[in-house]
Every structure is written in C-alpha cells, then in structure tokens.
Amino acid sequence: MNSESCTTEKALSDLYDFFSQIHFESCRNCVDCCFQPWFLIEEKANMEAVFRNDIIEVDSVSMCNSPKCRFSSDGCCAIYKNRPLDCRLFPLDIIEYEGSYWWAVFKTCTKYSELKQYLIPGIDYIESLITKGMFAQYERQIEVTKRTYAPYRDGHYEIIREFRRP
Ligand code: SF4
Ligand code: SF4
C-alpha cells in the first residue's frame, strides 16, 4: 500500500467517525435519497462484501448497479453502519459548476433545510480530510453523476461555498 492510499484510508476512517457522531433524526424512516451510491476505491473491498454482484464500473467509478439501492427497505438502510461515504455525506456533496468545484446541498432531500444546519459547520473539517487521491475520484464521479443524476442536471441544489482543492 503506498502512502497516498494509506493517508486516504485514514481520512476515510476519520470521516466515518465524524458522521457516526452526527445523528440525523430526520433520516429515520426515510430512504428518499437511496438511488445509486458510488464507492471510493478504498471502500471497494467492503462494498463488494455487501453489494456482491450489484456493483458496476462506469468510467472507472464503482457504483451500485441499480437505480434503486437494494439495501433500501421498509424506510431504512439495511447496511446503515457500513454505508459508503457518498450516503453519509448526502444531502451534502461536491459539485462542479462553471469550471469550479463547490460544496452544495441537494434539495431532493425533503429535510435539506434542517440537515444543512448540521452539515455546513462540518464542511471545513470534512474538506481538511479530503486527500488528492480522494478528490481525483470525486472528479471522475462528478462527471458521471452530471450525466446520470437528473437533480444535478436540473440544478436542484443550493451552493454553499467553493470547494478548496487539496
Ligand atoms: S438525507 Fe434526506 S432524503 Fe436522505 S434519508 Fe435523510 S432525510 Fe431522507
Ligand atoms: S447503502 Fe443504504 S443509505 Fe446508501 S443508498 Fe443504499 S440503502 Fe440508501
């Protein structure tokens, strides 16, 4: 394992810890955002263990192969403690707009006004953990998401501030 992937794995662990401490009461009994999560390379082994054959690669981005994640059932995530970073961040995300990268909150989350109050104060910390290797994967994922996620194409998000690249 090279030092960059080692650093990214540590950052990912810290990000998981951070999100495990934020309790989104609003997300109880809601899986409205559970479409097609994507996975970082550093998450792939764990995700293969749970998603098994339900993973596809699109332009070198690993993601759930179904438009509706199969772990979404009865209003809950069946793998909540193992869900990928993409799911932990939502409705917060990094987007590309007019050639720059931005932190944004997707309005497709019905509770986005409430959740952004928890997420915005964490942006500086989350950003400090995003390594070059992780962001390179974000750049690829953003290109795929722009094509595949209609709320992105339709601008159904609120821009918070510019993303500071690592
Ligand atoms: S992030 Fe929003 S859409 Fe997703 S589960 Fe929570 S409240 Fe529902
Ligand atoms: S892993 Fe869980 S939180 Fe993520 S999309 Fe699937 S059901 Fe939703």
**Does the structure show a pLDDT above 70 at 20?**
yes
Give the type of residue at 70: R
**Which has more confidence, 146 or 4?**
146
**DSSP at 24:** -
Q: Is the CB of 83 under 6 A from ligand 2?
A: yes
Confidence at residue 67, expressed as pLDDT on a 0 to 100 scale: 84
Q: Is any ligand 1 atom within 6 A of the Cβ of residue 76? A: no
pLDDT mean over 48-65: 93
**How much is the pLDDT for 5?**
62
Q: Which residue has the higher pLDDT, 125 or 1?
A: 125
Please give the distance of CA 163 from its chain centroid, rounded to a whole number.
15
pTM score, two decimals?
0.93
Nearest ligand, CA 51: 2
- 88-91, long-range: CB < 8 A, 24+ apart: 88/15, 88/16, 88/19, 89/19, 89/119, 89/126, 90/33, 91/33, 91/115, 91/116, 91/119
**Does residue 85 carry a pLDDT above 60?**
yes
**What residues make up the domain containing 85?**
3-162
Domain count for the chain: 1
Half-sphere exposure (Cβ direction) of 112: Cα atoms closer than 13 Å: 18
27 C-alpha to ligand 1 centroid (Å): 5
Q: Is 79 in the pocket of ligand 2 (CB under 6 A)?
A: yes
More confident residue, 160 or 31: 160
Q: Is the dihedral of CA 47, 48, 50, 51 positive or negative?
A: positive
137 and 10 Cβ atoms separated by less than 8 Å: no
Residue 152: closest CA among 67, 95, 87: 95
